[in-house]
């Protein structure tokens, strides 16, 4: 009798357990990382790190090939225009000059003798013309040999400082091979690299502020502007090379100093700075060709809301519309969330 009673009550007990499980499962809230949206300025400056370079930097090399027998400068040496930087072994060029001078002397003697013969009528004018032509050719060859001998000395073409030496004594170099790199005196610039995410916001002519920490009298700021921006990205780093020109030169600005550059992307002076929202890139939910974010309500339920992205930066995405400051959004795992689901907000590892 008892056995029959238990069999009769078993379906009812299982049904009750199933209902309890469903209620319990519905009350479970999944933890999710969230952030509070804050407003920021759309025209905020972008900051980059770079180093001081010379506006003009020249790669110097010998105009002839040969073996270097002397290098008179090192990196950091201050040089003046016309100063000798290095020398080649001039033995061969000296022999060539001697031979050319001998040929010139012979041509001069023959031309003189044939002029006298022409005056006496012993030779025709055409023969004298041939000797005169040979004299001109020998004179040109002698001048060329003298130039080649002079090219065995590498001279500085401007005042400046040696920024690199690329050849050593005893090395055989070819014509035009860079031996010394010379940074010319004058304007100084900052070489920086612009990431792909900021390339469209930087333009030539934009104002910038350069901060140097290695100045003798402490940190110093210099006004500047974007002078040059490469149209092609570096194939290795995928960044765009840019040059920031210092508007006010200073004798304390040395080559190689580390500089911090802030570029003002607000091209129109006095324009109103619109407020936008900066959110993590991981908070973006791509729904087809539309962009959205998960909004966390007061009851911890989530809803998907479309937003408009102003631009993408390294530190996040600037949202121009769709969310307001003070709202809470899901910052990670956005593709694991379902509409209407309730979550436990977690900020910086702390459950709210």
> pLDDT category, 20, cuts 50, 70, 90?
very low
* Selection from 255-259, 271-275, 315-319 with the highest mean pLDDT: 255-259
Return contacts of 215-222, CB within 8 angstroms, 24+ apart: 215/250, 215/252, 215/253, 216/252, 217/252, 220/250, 220/252, 222/246, 222/247, 222/248, 222/250, 222/253
- Residue 270's pLDDT is 43
Domain 60-88+154-183, CATH number (from 2.40.50.100, 3.40.50.300, 1.10.1040.10, 2.40.50.140): 2.40.50.100
Q: Domain spanning 28-42+274-351 has what CATH number?
A: 2.40.420.20
Predicted confidence (pLDDT) per residue in 40-68, tens digit: 765 555 788 999 888 888 999 999 999 99
Between the CA of residue 176 and those of 3, 5, 179, 264, 282, what are the distances in Å? Answer: 106, 106, 9, 42, 52
Q: In what order do the strands lie in the sheet with 39-41?
A: 39-41, 275-279, 316-321, 308-313
What is the dotted CATH code of the domain comprising 46-55+187-263? 2.40.30.170
Residue range(s) occupied by CATH 2.40.420.20 in the chain: 28-42+274-351
Please determine, looking at this structure, whether the domain spanning 91-150 carries the CATH number 1.10.287.470. Answer: yes
Residues of the chain with CATH 2.40.50.100: 60-88+154-183
Question: pLDDT tens, 338-350?
Answer: 888 888 888 765 5
Q: What is the pTM of this model?
A: 0.55
Q: Which helix (H) or strand (E) holds 194?
A: strand 188-195
* Burial tier of 204 (Cβ tally within 10 Å: 0-12, 13-18, 19+): exposed
Give the chain's length.
352
Nearest Cα neighbor of 225 from 203, 258, 241 is 203
Pick the range with the lowest mean pLDDT from 66-70, 73-77, 102-106, 270-274.
270-274
């Amino acid at each position: 009798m008892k056995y029959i009673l238990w069999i009769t009550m078993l379906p009812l007990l299982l049904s009750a357990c199933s209902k309890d499980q469903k209620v319990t499962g519905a009350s479970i809230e999944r933890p999710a990382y969230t952030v509070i949206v804050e407003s920021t300025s759309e025209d905020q400056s972008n900051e980059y790190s770079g180093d001081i370079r010379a506006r003009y930097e020249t790669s110097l090399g010998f105009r002839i090939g040969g073996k270097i027998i002397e290098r008179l400068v090192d990196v950091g040496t201050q040089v003046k225009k016309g100063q000798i930087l290095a020398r080649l072994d001039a033995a061969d060029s000296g022999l060539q000059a001697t031979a050319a001078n001998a040929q010139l002397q012979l041509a001069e003697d023959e031309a003189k003798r044939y002029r006298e013969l022409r005056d006496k009528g012993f030779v025709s004018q055409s023969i004298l013309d041939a000797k005169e032509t040979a004299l001109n050719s020998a004179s040109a060859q002698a001048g060329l040999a003298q130039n080649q001998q002079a090219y065995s000395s590498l001279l500085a073409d401007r005042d400046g400082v040696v920024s690199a030496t690329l050849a050593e004594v005893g090395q055989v170099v070819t014509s035009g091979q860079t031996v010394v790199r010379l940074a010319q005196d004058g304007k100084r610039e900052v070489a920086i690299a612009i990431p792909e995410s900021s390339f469209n916001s930087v333009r030539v002519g934009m104002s910038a502020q350069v901060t140097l920490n290695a100045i003798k009298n402490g940190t110093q700021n210099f006004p500047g502007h974007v002078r040059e921006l490469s149209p092609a990205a570096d194939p290795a780093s995928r960044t765009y090379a840019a040059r920031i020109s210092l508007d006010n030169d200073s004798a304390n600005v040395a080559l190689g100093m580390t500089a911090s550059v802030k570029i003002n992307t607000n091209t129109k002076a006095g324009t109103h700075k619109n407020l936008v929202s900066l959110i993590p890139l991981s908070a973006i939910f791509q729904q087809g060709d539309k962009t959205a974010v998960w909004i966390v309500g007061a009851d911890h339920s989530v809803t998907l809301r479309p937003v408009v992205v102003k631009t993408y930066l390294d530190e996040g995405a600037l949202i121009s519309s769709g969310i307001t400051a003070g709202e809470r959004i899901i910052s990670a795992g956005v593709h694991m969330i379902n509409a209407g689901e309730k979550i436990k907000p977690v900020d910086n590892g702390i459950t709210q």
